[in-house]
C-alpha cells in the first residue's frame, strides 16, 4: 500500500492554511515592482523644466510687469533685447545661451508693451481731444464691427430711460478745421444713440459728434475707462446723439477679411433672432458668435453674479466642444486623422477670428492647432511647451491682454485643469484582484459606476477651479460666488448641447426652415434651462456676496503657494497645502480687523450732473454704516457708490 501525501493548497510551510491563503491573496494584489503603471507620477515641474519655451514666456512676462508698473525706456529695452539676442545667436551652444535668450525675451517684451501704450503719431486724435466734449466733424474707417446694445429693462427708479446704442471703433483719418480738412491718425471709440444699419468693418464714414478724452477714474474703486481704452490703443471718444450724424462715404467692407466676418456674424445673429425667442436668441448670439451686446445688461449680470459667465463668453470650452464635434463628424465619415487635423485647424482659426479673437479663444486655438500639427507631423506633444507658446502668442498680438481678467482666468483655469485636477482626479491602476471584481460586474452596474464617476469628476473639477479662481475674481469684481461650483457642471452640459445644436441650426438655416426646426428647439430648450437655473439660484441668499478685494501682496503669495502645490510632488505638495491654509486664515484675520478710530468720514463722489455723499461711521468699533443722498439717476449712483464702499 502506497501512501501519497498531498499538500493543502492553502497551507504554508508552518502548516497554517489561513496564513497561506492570506499570503497568496496579498501577493496577488500587490503590483509587480517593475510595472510602469504603478510607478509614482512625475511631478509637473519637471515637464515645465524640460519645455524650452517656458523660460522665454516667464522672462517676457517679467518684462511686461516691469514696464507696466515701473516704466521702462523703449530705447533701453530694445537695446538690451537685441544685444541679448545677438549674444544668444553667437553662443547658442554655450551653457549661458538660455540666460541670454531669457534676457532678450524680457527686453523685447518690455519694449513691445511700451510702444503699444505710448508710441503714437504726432497728429494722433488723442492729442487734440479736449477734456470737455466739443462738437467736431471727423472722417475715418470703421476698425471694428459695430456692436448694438439692447436698451435696459424699464426701471421705475430711472427718470430718463436710455434707448438702444451702438458702439464701435473708428480709425480717424481727418478732422474738419477752420482751414478745411486736416489729416489726423489714431483710434477713437464711437458711440451712437441709435442703430447703425448696414455699416461694417472697413467702411469709410463721416461723423458729426462730440469729441473728448476718455474719462478717467474719478472715485475710489471706480474703473479707469481711459486706461482700459489705452490698452486697445484708443485715445479719444466720439459721442453722436442720433444715427443721422453718421454718413457712409465709401463701402469698404468687401475688401477686408474682418468686414466679411462681420457680415457673417450679423447674418448669424439675425438667423438666431428669427429662429429663437428674444431671450434665448440673445443668449445664443453670445454663446455662438461672441455677440455679448445681444444680451441685455440684467441677464448678463445674473451670469456674472452666479459665477458662471464663462459658459457664455467665448472661451476654451467653446472651442474644445467645437473641435470635438468636428472630430466626431470626421470619424463618422472615416476621414484620415492627418487630413482631418488640417480641417480642425482651419475651423479653429476661422471661428476665433469670427468671434473677435479674444485672448481665451486665441489661447485655446493655439493649443488645439499645436496638437493637430503634432498629429500631422507625427511628433509628441509637450503640454507645458504649447501652454507657454499660447501665452507668447497672446502677448505678441496685444501686450496689454495679460493684464485683463479674462486672459488671466483663462490661463489660470487651464493650468489647474491640466496639471492639477487632471493629476489629482486620475483613476489609479487596478490591482489584479480589483480587475477580477470589475470583470465580474454586470453591464448595468458598470454603466452606473461610470456615470457616477463622470458626475463626481465634473463637480470635483468645478470645486477645484472655483476655489483657485475665487481670489482673482474677488480682486477684479469684488464678488464671491460659491454657488457657481454647483451651477457650473449642469450649465456646461446645457451650453455644450446648445453650442452644437446652434451651429447645426446656422448650417441648415439657409436651406429650409423645417430642416432647422429640431435644432432650434434643442437650442431653445437648453438655453431656457440655463436661464431657469441661473435666475432661480441667483435669488438664494448667500449664493453670491460682494466683498472688498484682497491686498495685492496676499494675492501674489496665494498663487505662488498654489503653484507650488500643483507643480511639486510629495511631500512638498502637502506642505504647500498646509501653508496655503495658514495663508488664507492669516489673510482673513488681517482683513477682519475692525477700525480703531471713531471718526466720521464723508466722501463726496463724482457722478456727473448731481451729487452723491457717502457717510461712514463706526459704531462700538465693530459696525460700519453707509448712507447716501443722491440727486441723480439710480444706475449712475449705484455704479459709483458700490465700488467706493468696497474699496479698501
Q: What is the pLDDT of residues 537-575, one digit of tens each?
A: 998 998 899 888 898 999 999 999 999 999 998 889 999
Residue 385 pLDDT > 90, yes or no? yes
Rounded to whole angstroms, the Cα distance separating 258 from 127 reads 28
The closest alpha carbon to 251, from 216, 178, 201, 313, belongs to 201
Burial grade of 153 (CB within 10 A; 0-12, 13-18, 19 or more) = exposed
Please say whether the beta carbons of 226 and 237 come within 8 A. no
Rounded to whole angstroms, the Cα distance separating 164 from 153 reads 11
Looking at residue 7, its pLDDT comes to: 43
Q: Phi, psi at residue 615, to the nearest 5°?
A: -110, 125
Strand ranges inside 150-277, DSSP E: 165-177, 180-183, 187-193, 204-212, 236-240, 246-250
Looking at residue 95, its pLDDT comes to: 86
Q: How many CA atoms lie within 13 A of 49 on its CB side?
A: 7
- Cell (9 digits) for 431: 490591482
How many residues make up the chain in this entry?
648
pLDDT band at 610 (very low <50, low <70, confident <90, very high): low
Whether the bond into 571 is cis, omega within 30 of 0: yes
Give Cβ neighbours of residue 609 (< 8 Å, ≥ 6 apart). Answer: 632
Alpha carbon of residue 287 to chain centroid: 14
Looking at residue 467, its pLDDT comes to: 93
- Cell (9 digits) for 598: 471713531
In percent, how much of the chain has pLDDT > 90?
A: 50
β-pairing, 601-605 vs 246-250, is unpaired
Average pLDDT for 595-606: 72
Q: What DSSP state is assigned to residue 159?
A: S
- Cell (9 digits) for 189: 471709440
Residue 137, beta-bridge partner list: 208
- Cell (9 digits) for 373: 500639427
The closest alpha carbon to 180, from 147, 213, 137, belongs to 137
SS (H, E, C) 128-157: HCCCCCEEEEEEEEECCCCEEECCCCCCCC
The per-residue pLDDT for range 343-356, each reduced to its tens digit, is 999 999 999 999 88
Q: For the chain, what is the mean pLDDT?
A: 85
Residue 591 pLDDT > 90, yes or no? no
- Cell (9 digits) for 357: 479673437
pLDDT band at 621 (very low <50, low <70, confident <90, very high): very low
Residue 141 pLDDT > 50, yes or no? yes
Q: How many CA atoms lie within 13 A of 289 on its CB side?
A: 28
Burial letters for 42-75: b for 16+ Cβ neighbours within 10 Å, e otherwise? ebbbebbeebebbbbbbbbbebbbbbbeeebebe
Residue 93 pLDDT > 50, yes or no? yes
Element (H, E) at 320: helix 316-332
Residue 157 pLDDT > 90, yes or no? no
120 backbone φψ class: left, alpha, beta (φ>0; ψ -120 to 50): beta
pLDDT band at 38 (very low <50, low <70, confident <90, very high): low
Looking at residue 231, its pLDDT comes to: 94
Q: Find the distance separating the first CA and the last CA of the chain, reported in whole Å.
A: 100
pLDDT band at 270 (very low <50, low <70, confident <90, very high): confident
Amino acid at each position: 500500500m502506497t501512501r501519497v501525501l498531498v499538500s493543502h493548497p492553502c497551507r504554508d510551510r508552518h502548516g497554517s492554511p489561513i496564513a497561506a491563503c492570506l499570503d497568496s491573496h496579498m501577493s496577488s494584489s500587490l503590483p509587480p515592482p517593475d510595472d510602469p503603471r504603478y510607478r509614482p507620477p512625475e511631478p509637473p515641474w519637471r515637464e515645465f523644466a524640460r519645455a524650452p519655451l517656458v523660460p522665454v514666456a516667464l522672462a517676457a512676462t517679467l518684462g511686461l510687469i516691469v514696464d507696466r508698473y515701473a516704466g521702462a525706456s523703449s530705447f533701453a529695452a530694445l537695446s538690451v533685447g537685441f544685444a541679448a539676442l545677438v549674444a544668444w545667436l553667437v553662443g547658442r551652444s554655450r551653457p549661458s545661451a538660455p540666460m541670454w535668450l531669457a534676457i532678450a525675451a524680457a527686453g523685447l517684451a518690455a519694449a513691445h508693451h511700451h510702444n503699444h501704450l505710448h508710441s503714437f503719431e504726432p497728429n494722433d486724435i488723442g492729442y487734440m481731444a479736449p477734456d470737455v466734449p466739443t462738437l467736431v466733424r471727423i472722417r475715418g474707417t470703421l476698425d471694428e464691427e459695430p456692436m448694438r446694445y439692447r436698451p435696459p429693462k424699464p426701471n421705475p427708479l430711472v427718470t430718463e430711460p436710455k434707448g438702444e446704442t451702438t458702439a464701435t471703433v473708428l480709425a480717424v483719418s481727418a478732422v474738419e478745421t477752420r482751414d478745411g480738412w486736416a489729416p489726423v491718425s489714431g483710434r477713437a471709440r464711437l458711440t451712437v444713440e441709435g442703430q447703425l444699419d448696414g455699416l461694417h468693418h472697413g467702411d469709410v464714414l463721416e461723423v458729426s459728434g462730440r469729441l473728448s478724452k476718455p474719462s478717467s477714474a474719478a472715485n475710489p474703486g471706480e474703473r479707469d475707462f481711459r486706461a482700459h481704452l489705452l490698452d486697445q490703443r484708443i485715445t479719444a471718444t466720439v459721442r453722436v446723439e442720433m444715427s443721422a450724424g453718421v454718413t457712409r462715404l465709401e463701402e469698404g467692407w468687401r475688401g477686408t477679411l474682418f468686414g466679411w466676418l462681420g457680415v457673417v456674424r450679423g447674418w448669424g445673429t439675425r438667423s438666431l433672432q428669427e429662429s429663437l425667442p428674444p431671450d434665448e436668441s440673445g443668449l445664443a448670439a453670445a454663446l455662438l458668435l461672441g455677440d455679448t451686446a445681444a444680451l441685455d445688461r440684467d441677464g448678463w449680470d445674473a451670469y456674472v453674479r452666479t459665477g458662471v459667465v464663462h459658459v457664455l463668453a467665448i472661451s476654451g470650452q467653446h472651442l474644445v466642444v467645437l473641435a470635438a464635434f468636428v472630430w466626431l463628424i470626421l470619424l463618422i465619415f472615416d476621414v484620415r486623422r492627418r487630413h482631418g487635423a488640417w480641417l480642425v485647424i482651419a475651423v479653429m482659426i476661422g471661428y476665433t477670428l469670427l468671434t473677435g479673437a479674444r485672448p481665451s479663444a486665441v489661447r485655446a486655438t493655439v493649443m488645439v492647432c499645436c496638437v493637430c500639427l503634432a498629429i500631422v507631423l507625427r511628433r509628441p506633444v509637450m503640454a507645458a511647451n504649447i501652454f507657454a507658446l499660447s501665452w507668447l502668442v497672446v502677448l505678441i498680438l496685444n501686450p496689454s491682454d495679460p493684464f485683463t481678467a479674462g486672459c488671466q482666468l483663462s490661463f489660470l483655469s487651464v493650468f489647474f485643469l491640466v496639471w492639477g485636477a487632471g493629476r489629482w482626479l486620475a483613476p489609479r491602476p487596478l490591482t489584479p484582484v480589483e480587475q477580477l471584481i470589475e470583470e465580474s460586474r454586470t453591464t448595468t452596474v458598470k454603466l452606473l459606476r461610470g456615470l457616477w464617476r463622470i458626475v463626481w469628476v465634473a463637480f470635483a473639477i468645478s470645486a477645484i477651479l472655483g476655489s483657485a479662481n475665487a481670489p482673482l475674481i474677488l480682486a477684479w469684481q469684488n464678488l464671491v460666488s460659491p454657488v457657481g461650483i454647483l451651477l457650473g457642471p449642469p450649465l456646461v452640459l446645457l451650453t455644450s448641447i446648445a453650442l452644437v445644436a446652434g451651429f447645426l441650426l446656422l448650417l441648415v438655416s439657409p436651406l429650409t426652415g423645417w430642416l432647422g426646426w429640431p435644432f432650434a428647439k434643442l437650442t431653445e430648450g437648453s438655453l431656457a434651462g440655463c436661464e431657469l437655473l441661473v435666475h432661480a439660484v441667483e435669488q438664494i441668499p448667500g449664493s453670491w456676496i460682494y466683498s472688498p478685494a484682497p491686498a495685492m501682496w496676499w494675492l501674489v503669495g496665494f498663487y505662488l503657494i498654489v503653484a507650488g502645490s500643483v507643480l511639486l510632488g510629495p511631500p512638498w505638495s502637502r506642505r504647500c497645502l498646509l501653508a496655503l491654509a495658514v495663508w488664507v486664515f492669516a489673510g482673513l484675520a488681517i482683513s477682519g480687523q475692525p477700525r480703531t478710530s471713531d471718526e466720521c468720514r464723508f466722501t463726496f463722489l463724482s457722478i456727473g450732473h448731481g451729487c452723491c455723499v457717502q457717510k461712514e461711521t463706526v459704531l462700538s468699533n465693530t459696525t460700519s454704516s453707509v448712507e447716501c443722498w443722491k440727486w441723480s439717476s439710480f444706475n449712475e449712483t449705484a455704479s459709483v457708490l458700490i465700488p467706493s464702499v468696497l474699496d479698501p
